[in-house]
Amino acid sequence: MNRTWGVRVLCSAALLAVFVNVPCKSSAQTSSEQVQVSLPLPSQSEPPNPTQTVAQLEQRGDELRGNKAYYDALDFYREALKKAPKTASLHNKAGICLLQTQRYPEAGKEFALAIRADKTYADAYNNFGVVQYEAKKYGKALSYYARAIRLQPETASFYNNQGAAYFAKKQFDKASDAYMKAMQLDPDIFERKSHNGITAQLPSPEDRAHYDYAIARLYARLNEPDRSLGYLRRAMEEGYKGINDVYKDDEFSNLRKDPRFSDLMKQRPVAISD
């Protein structure tokens, strides 16, 4: 079976998303949400009040970040850090605001400080990996994603990012394994549209088409026929040249029994150029 699979991370037809992990709480025990980069909005807030507590400053920063007012949110996180300079979650949130505004070196410094403050902070390792990925230092990105996974092995977005970095290094077998793990943990990971974003350019149209075929194969393996068929259609529309492999790849054995599969292959959707 040919496992040289091109892949992309879905965000739109023209962009590849990298998942950044954001703590939902200020304590060391955090949960994560997936975000995508979008343009910051104009100022929405008065300057931070130095008399406010760390909790009040952080809460206001969270509200502003949720409204995509990243510069304002950063002001509040930095004011809070003056009072609590070794708080890992605050450094992580400040780093995310910097990522959202594409200030990658500064973001990296914040994530490094978060890791220094809490060496068990999985999200900070993942996010530092995103900084390395944006700098095209894929080997370093993989090392940080691996640390995040060791600390928090049930987080789908870590494997998703790992897959993207392996893909960038043309290590397609490892990329597909990472994406499969992400899908097993979160079957909707490639379908969900996040509300914020970090983006990088997609690979070639040929790679995008190959990716769609690969994801169709993964969904078929997970017995998700609707999604598998959807990605097969995309692969055909994007001109995937190896589409006839669908008749011999073992993962599609059950899907080939579905009448919709036969209908799709008879239709042969016309390839759509970029």
Q: What CA–CA distance (Å, rounded) separates 266 from 274?
A: 24
The CA-based diameter of the chain, rounded to the nearest angstrom, is 69
CATH of residue 80: 1.25.40.10
CA distances from 124 to 129, 167, 191 (A): 8, 22, 25
Residues 182 and 208 in one domain: no
Residues 178 and 268 in one domain: no
Q: What CA–CA distance (Å, rounded) separates 167 from 207?
A: 10
- For 92-151, the pLDDT digits (tens) are 999 999 999 999 999 999 999 999 999 999 999 999 999 999 999 999 999 999 999 999
**Boundary residue ending a domain (202, 235, 256):** 202
Q: Indicate whether 127 belongs to any domain.
A: yes
Q: What CA–CA distance (Å, rounded) separates 160 from 182?
A: 6
CA 115 to chain CA mean position, Å: 20
Residues 178 and 258 in one domain: no
Q: What CA–CA distance (Å, rounded) separates 63 from 75?
A: 12
Residues 222 and 259 in one domain: yes
Q: At residue 11, does pLDDT exceed 60?
A: no
Residue type at 252?
F
Q: Work out how many domains the chain is built from and give that number.
A: 2
Q: How does residue 211 score in pLDDT terms, banded at 50, 70 and 90?
A: confident
Residues 129 and 226 in one domain: no
* Range of lowest pLDDT (45-59, 88-102, 208-222): 208-222
Residues 73 and 125 in one domain: yes
- For 167-189, the pLDDT digits (tens) are 888 887 898 899 899 999 998 88
Q: Indicate whether 10 belongs to any domain.
A: no
Residues 184 and 246 in one domain: no
Residues 168 and 222 in one domain: no
**Boundary residue ending a domain (187, 202, 217):** 202
Q: Indicate whether 8 belongs to any domain.
A: no
Residues 112 and 195 in one domain: yes
Q: Indicate whether 31 belongs to any domain.
A: yes
142: domain range?
Answer: 15-202
Q: Indicate whether 6 belongs to any domain.
A: no
> DSSP label at 239?
T
Residues 149 and 272 in one domain: no
Q: Indicate whether 2 belongs to any domain.
A: no
Residues 153 and 19 in one domain: yes
What is the pTM (predicted TM-score) of this model?
0.76
